[in-house]
Structure 1
């Protein structure tokens, strides 16, 4: 995160009434941003004012109002203000269960993923912004929102996705996937680099180098990000902060509070209030 004098991060989260698998987000950034991180959801980002410096598809890019940002689960990305100028944006977080229903009903059960992190189409971006804005200010009915959103998402996947075909993974890719599975299964534990490398039966220095090469972040950062994602899910469901702390592997509430605010921009308590 950048720390300058005129720092602004004004955020709002909400769930449309129609579906528990969708979270909407509105934010205003100025001299503020988030370093490389991952989400467990499919994420769609839309800039409706200003421009953004971003890390997408393994590269630094400058994005504007014509861009629809499309991030798959577990894909590393980052966002910062450009030239210390602010920007405003909406985000749509779609849980894998929601995408699974789209696959079943509209894509013949083919597993979908976004083929590119950026889909440049100003008309399409404006269309999605209007759909979210109408839901935010309740100018459309729930059924209108759901129909428009599903129809537009289907169109987005048709234009910026591929069916996930079986591929032959390299031994290094398999190793990284095994490491991720091990970390996700043991988020509640105080894992060390030795714990993970011993599970893979390789040198911890070799593992560290490979992981950063493949994911653009360190194993420690990945582990912390996954704990934050798990905490967000628990808080959305109304779980207490104390239970969330220990369920997700944090030492105490102060540790959760510090890490959560660094990655989300809000305290766990303030984040929880948006959903309960």
Structure 2
């Protein structure tokens, strides 16, 4: 048991804890649970993040009830009471705690402000964040705690990525966007990271703090494409890379954010002039 998180761990029912894969060091603890704690209020001393892989149950955070969706990062501030209102079937998901002193230190180094608050608590999380969490777990599995400097390095990368993806007001306040091209740059960066998620115009506009009407007109003038067309162009480009590596078409469709294989094939053919199956046969690099 990680002593740094003892108070939190003592609140988890034994039958859930026994089935949960856990990895930790002094800065953070990462869980891979297969169920939620139902009907019990849990006190969070530190920053808490949830990466659901299926629809989670409604969560009561302090006095307010929130409904979340899969694929979105749930960010909860320290010194908060949390409870699940009802049960819900779920696949294994990621839940993590980050020590508040460590997280605030990273925030101070990155953006000059120690206190971290979330303007939104429900944001899309990227594959990059998941990959960093995987690296943290793999490092502990393979090397135990023989390389504390490596673990510290991964901790810092995870914390920075959480600041970027969690809707932290610190990050927004640290970047002033007075010019149109800076708004466009932020929007493109957001779309490039989340192209394979179900992002909407509203999601992009919330991220860069613009009205949808102004953003769509400005983006079209700057790029010659609508935001929707631009996201699709990213998806097709990523699909080309995967097809050249020989990836199955159904897998490519899923990884690149298309609704299904048929949707992917129709759009790919319209853009590239040939269906993905033909493109794969023609350009597959052994």
Structure with the greater alpha carbon radius of gyration: 2
Question: TM-score by structure 1 length?
Answer: 0.44
- The structure showing larger relative contact order (alpha-carbon pairs under 8 Å, at least 6 residues apart) is 1
Point out the structure with the larger strand share: 1
